[in-house]
């Protein structure tokens, strides 16, 4: 049997327009299309699709999950600066330039993450600043890891977690595919 190649990752989202705007900012590109209530972003080797959570559950034939409880801080409004890091804590501050952003926490872990492997620690810093500016919730700021790498986590408006990591044991093929170093 031929090994299947993943072609599309679909995320169930509570607000398609909000999530489309978020990923347009994250990827710095417009979606390829919005078709029949689904948004598609072509990424190298795979497409990311955004689909309303209730419709995705209906398509699968299951009941949509109940809405997640919000963190008490979700209702506070904090003025934010694009991609800034707090001088006091070094933490990333989310939000778009000149706006306020509802601070929320995504307390329910769904048991999976999406990951992007960076080519350097410096690239991770740049990606986190960009994600924070787009409104990502920084769950874990980039830091050195027990396995000798450097990584951190952020989540999108619906609580889908993304890991951004660099590791000395990883390399990339001439086509950009991740591989272990020889």
CATH number of the domain residue 6 falls in: 3.30.720.120
Determine the Cα–Cα distance for residues 182 and 178; give it in Å rounded to an integer: 12
* pLDDT tens digits, one per residue of 64-118: 887 665 433 333 333 333 344 444 345 544 444 333 333 345 457 888 999 999 9
CA terminus-to-terminus distance, the chain: 27
Calculated CA dihedral for residues 154, 166, 93, 68, nearest 10 degrees: 10
What pLDDT score does 107 carry?
A: 56
Distance separating alpha carbons of residues 95 and 22, to the nearest angstrom: 11
CATH of the domain at 161: 3.10.180.10
Average pLDDT over residues 133-147: 96
**For the chain, how many structural domains are there in total?**
2
Are residues 53 and 89 located together in one domain of the fold? no
Per-position DSSP letters for 36-91, written without gaps between them? TTEEEEEETTEEEEEEEHHHHHHHHTSPPPPPPPPPGGGG-EEE--TT-B-TTT--
Residue 109 structural domain: 79-182
pLDDT (tens digit per residue) in 5-51: 889 999 999 999 999 999 999 999 888 878 889 999 999 889 999 99
Tell me the CB-side half-sphere exposure of residue 118, using CA atoms within 13 A: 20
pLDDT value at residue 144: 97
Residue 67 in any domain: the answer is: no
CA atoms within 13 A on the CB side of 28: 4
């Amino acid at each position: 049997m031929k090994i299947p190649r993943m072609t599309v990752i679909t995320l169930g989202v509570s607000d398609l327009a909000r999530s489309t705007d978020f990923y347009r900012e994250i990827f710095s590109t417009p979606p390829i299309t919005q078709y029949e209530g689904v948004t598609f972003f072509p990424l190298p080797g795979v497409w990311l699709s955004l689909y309303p959570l209730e419709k995705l559950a209906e398509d699968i034939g299951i009941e949509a999950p109940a809405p997640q409880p919000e963190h008490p801080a979700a209702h506070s409004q904090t003025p934010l600066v694009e991609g800034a890091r707090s001088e006091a804590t070094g933490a990333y501050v989310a939000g778009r330039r000149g706006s306020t952003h509802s601070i929320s926490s995504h307390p329910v872990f769904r048991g999976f993450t999406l990951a992007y492997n960076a080519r350097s620690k410096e690239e991770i810093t740049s990606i986190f600043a960009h994600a924070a500016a787009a409104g990502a919730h920084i769950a874990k700021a980039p830091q050195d890891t027990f396995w000798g790498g450097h990584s951190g986590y952020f989540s999108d408006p619906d609580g889908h977690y993304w890991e951004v990591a660099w590791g000395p044991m990883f390399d990339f093929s001439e086509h950009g595919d991740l591989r272990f170093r020889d």
